[in-house]
Amino acid sequence: MFIAMNRFKVIPGNEEKFINVWKNRDTYIETLPGFKSFNLLQGPSTEEYTLISSHTTWETKENFEAWIDSEEFKKAHVRA
């Protein structure tokens, strides 16, 4: 198993919008070999930011690397 993680510092008051964008965007990821799951977690907040992290779980690191080299990855991150 391989887990890929990202951390984001979101300006206070924008958490719901950020989460909705992530939950509702087309990722095309579910159809890829080795994909197991996606999770988005909201962490602690300060006056400066709220910490939000995402992680995807894959059968292998090679499956994840194939994802980041794929056309599906480019489509999913076109507005990133």
3-state secondary structure of 72: helix
Domain architecture of the chain: domains with CATH: 2-76 (3.30.70.100)
Phi and psi based region of residue 37 (left: phi greater than 0; alpha: psi -120 to 50; beta: remaining): beta
Model pTM above 0.85: no
Q: Does an H or E element contain 45, and which?
A: strand 35-45
Rounded mean pLDDT, 24-42: 89
- Identify the band that residue 27 occupies on the pLDDT scale cut at 50, 70 and 90: confident
